[in-house]
């Protein structure tokens, strides 16, 4: 379930991090004097990223149904706000590590559509030459350093990037995304402990969509939430409504700024819900119909669209122009991907060893 109405952000931290917690949770944090009020441009950019994720997801599933792409796919539909808000809070050269349900993170961080679609289609023009597929998207130019198919394994990898930035003093922040199920494995606890001990510039984002594969959060986790586990490692822990763009942005921005200033990591638990099964083809019968219907009725994409127009942050015409541009860009990427060549078999021996094997 999402945080109750009127309580978009809750914190659970040790006394030593009380000040940071109050900053993260306080409604006053959006006052213009604090610098934590998203600009109109940032709000519109968040919507652009959200609608890009939504339309891309719908187009991928349609293309798979048509038999034009055959690949494992994990839909992020319903989780668009989290990726958009986090990405808007980052610099272009900041790092991101994500998991197999990661296309929303890829798109939000800036992986080019053509590169992404070609990789999904297994073509040589893809970001990994068609050899990685959806579960292993990598695009360092946009800061997407790795997509891993192993639950929770991105957490220690993110610490590695954070440590490298700390040693080099390059000022970069690393965000690592994972699901609620990953909070129950050893790498989560080891990773948070190390990041806190060394004050690494890492932000841990748990995208809690309530179901770890086919198991509900309540049936797989003994603690009432993930955020409170931060107290064990002396770092701020924040639970936020991951479907509230402004609340999500404030929490992400504060955590990113804190990490960049050398003050160490933050654990963010963003509450959301996935509208599809665990993977493409999963009928998700384990999710009660009433629960799914209630979540979809709160679809964050049309809700944010309506809010932007109602508050005159953007006009109906400007929103429609964004949507038309996104539609055209996706169509171009699909045509590019499906028209690209398959990898040559010689690629099987490339990018495996430091020195290329002579054929």
- At 18, is the pLDDT very low, low, confident or very high (cuts 50, 70, 90)? low
Mean pLDDT, range 70-74, rounded to an integer: 95
**Three-class DSSP category at 144:** strand
Mean pLDDT, range 200-220, rounded to an integer: 95
Query: By residue range, what is the domain housing residue 217?
Result: 9-28+38-340
Residue 33: the pLDDT is 35
Q: Return the higher-pLDDT residue of 22 and 334.
A: 334
Tell me: pLDDT of 291 over 80. Answer: yes
Whether 276 is covered by a domain: the verdict is yes
Distance CA 173, CA 160 (A): 12
What is the model's pTM? 0.90
Q: Is 351 part of a structural domain of the chain?
A: no
Q: Rounded mean pLDDT of the chain?
A: 91
pLDDT score of 351: 86
**What is the structure's pLDDT at 350?**
87
Q: Given CA atoms 68, 74, 79, 85 in this order, what sign does their dihedral have?
A: negative
3-state SS, residue 148: strand
Weakest-pLDDT range from 35-39, 149-153, 219-223, 273-277: 35-39
Q: Which residue has the tokens 């590590």?
A: 97
pLDDT score recorded for residue 348 = 87
The verdict on residue 321 lying in a domain is yes
Query: What is residue 6's predicted lDDT score, i.e. its pLDDT?
Result: 43
Residue with tokens 């038999």, as numbered in its chain: 67
pLDDT of residue 84 exceeding 50, the answer is: yes
Top pLDDT among 199 and 33 is at 199
Task: Tell me, yes or no, whether 4 lies in a domain.
Answer: no
d(Cα 1, Cα 301) in Å, to the nearest integer? 18
Do residues 204 and 123 touch, judged by C-beta distance below 8 A?
A: no
Coil/strand/helix, residue 212: strand
Flag whether 349 is in a domain. no
**Among 62, 98, 100, CA closest to 83:** 98
The whole-angstrom separation of Cα 17 and Cα 228 is: 13
> What pLDDT does 29 receive?
37
Distances (CA, A) of 127 to 101, 133, 244: 17, 9, 31
- Whether 183 has a pLDDT exceeding 50, the answer reads yes
Q: How many domains does the chain have?
A: 1
pLDDT of residue 215: 93
Task: Say if residues 235 and 269 touch (Cβ distance below 8 Å).
Answer: no
Q: Please check whether residue 159 lies inside any domain of the structure.
A: yes
Asked, for residue 218, whether it belongs to a domain, the answer is yes
Q: Which of 6-15, 277-286, 305-314, 337-346 has the lowest mean pLDDT?
A: 6-15
Choice between 355 and 3, residue whose per-residue pLDDT is larger: 355
Quote the CA–CA distance of 326 and 45 in Å, as a whole number: 12
Q: Looking at residue 27, what is its pLDDT?
A: 37
pLDDT at residue number 11: 62
105-127: pLDDT as tens digits: 999 999 999 999 999 999 999 99
pLDDT at residue 28 above 70? no
The answer to whether residue 257 is domain-embedded is: yes
186 vs 193: CA distance, rounded Å:
11
Using DSSP's 3-state secondary structure scheme, residue 304 falls into helix
Confidence band of 23 (pLDDT split at 50, 70, 90): very low
- In the prediction, which pLDDT does 237 show? 98
Any idea what the CATH number is for the domain that residue 285 is in? 3.40.50.970
């Amino acid at each position: 379930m999402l945080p109750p109405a009127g309580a978009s952000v809750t914190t659970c931290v040790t006394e030593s991090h009380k000040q940071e917690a109050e900053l993260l949770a306080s409604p006053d944090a959006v006052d213009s004097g604090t610098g934590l009020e998203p600009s109109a441009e940032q709000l519109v950019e968040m919507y652009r990223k959200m609608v890009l994720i939504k339309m891309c997801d719908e187009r991928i599933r349609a293309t798979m149904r048509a038999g034009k792409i055959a690949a494992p796919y994990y839909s992020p539909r319903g989780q668009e706000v989290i990726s958009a808000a986090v990405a808007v809070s980052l610099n272009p050269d900041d790092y991101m590590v994500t998991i197999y349900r990661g296309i929303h993170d890829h798109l939000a961080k800036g992986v080019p559509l053509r590169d992404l679609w070609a990789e999904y289609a297994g073509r040589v023009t893809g970001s990994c030459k068609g050899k990685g597929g959806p579960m292993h998207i990598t695009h360092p130019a946009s800061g997407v350093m790795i997509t891993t198919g192993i639950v929770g394994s991105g957490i220690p990898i993110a610490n590695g990037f954070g440590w490298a930035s700390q040693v080099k003093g390059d000022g970069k922040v690393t965000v690592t995304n994972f699901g609620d199920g990953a909070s129950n494995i050893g790498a989560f606890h080891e990773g948070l402990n190390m990041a806190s001990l060394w004050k690494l510039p890492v932000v841990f984002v748990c995208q809690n969509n309530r179901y770890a594969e086919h198991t509900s959060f309540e049936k797989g986790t003994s603690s009432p939430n993930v955020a409170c586990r931060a107290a064990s490692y002396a770092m701020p822990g924040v639970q936020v409504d991951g479907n509230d763009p402004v609340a999500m942005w404030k929490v992400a921005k504060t955590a990113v700024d804190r990490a960049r200033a050398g003050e160490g990591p933050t654990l963010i638990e963003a509450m959301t819900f996935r509208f599809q099964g665990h993977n493409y083809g999963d009928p998700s019968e384990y999710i009660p119909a009433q629960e799914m219907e209630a979540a979809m009725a709160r679809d964050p994409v049309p809700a944010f669209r309506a809010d932007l127009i109602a508050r005159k942050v953007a006009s109906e015409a400007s929103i429609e122009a964004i949507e038309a541009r996104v539609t055209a860009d996706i169509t171009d990427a699909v045509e590019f991907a499906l028209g690209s060549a398959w990898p040559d078999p010689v690629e099987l021996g490339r990018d495996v060893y430091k020195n290329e094997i002579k054929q």
